[in-house]
Amino acid sequence: MKKLLKLSIACFALLASTASFAEIAVIVHPSNNAELDSNAISRLFLGKLKSFPGGDQAVPINLSESSAQTKEFNKNVLKKSGSQLKAYWSKLVFTGKGTPPKALNSDAEVIGLVSSNPNIIGYIDAASVTGDVKVIAKF
């Protein structure tokens, strides 16, 4: 009985951990030929980089701060917690040196905006990707 209980707990822990680590896809308009590594993506979303490698303006779009995708993106790409990002953006806004990316409420909204503008870059759950956008990175 104890073995069964331990096995059940281990299986539940494994399922819970894989469910919380959904793959995040960074997306752009299909006509955007930008090639960006994780450092460049991070710099775009932190306001340190303002354009794609070809020189076109880059406009990053976030998902709402409460979304699981945002938490994973912040942790794995930006290497910051939600509270660290709030402090980071508060300082930039206060000094007039930047504003945080606009936040949308759903993967569908991000896809809609990205698919209509080649200057926008966003991230969504990789399972939500459609043919209307191009994936340039996965985390």
Which segments within the chain are labelled E, that is strand? 24-28, 59-63, 102-104, 120-125, 134-138
Within 8 A by CB and 6+ apart from 112, the residues are: none
User: Per-residue confidence at 70, pLDDT binned at 50, 70, 90?
Assistant: very high
User: Alpha-carbon distance 34 to 45, whole Å?
Assistant: 15
User: Per-residue confidence at 40, pLDDT binned at 50, 70, 90?
Assistant: very high
Share of the chain above pLDDT 70, in %: 85
Radius of gyration of the chain (CA): 17
Yes or no: say if 130 and 19 are a contact pair by the CB < 8 Å rule. no
User: Per-residue confidence at 11, pLDDT binned at 50, 70, 90?
Assistant: very low
Indicate whether 112 pLDDT > 90. Answer: yes
pLDDT of 22 reads 82
For the chain, domains (ranges, CATH) are 23-138 (3.40.190.10)
Give φ, ψ of 31 to 5 degrees: -85, -10
Summary mean pLDDT of the chain? 89
Tokens of 10: 């281990």
Indicate whether 85 pLDDT > 80. Answer: yes
Tokens of 76: 């794995």
Question: pTM of the predicted model, to two decimals?
Answer: 0.84
Q: Is 41 helix (H, G, I), strand (E, B) or coil?
A: helix
User: Alpha-carbon distance 11 to 4, whole Å?
Assistant: 10
Indicate whether 8 pLDDT > 80. Answer: no
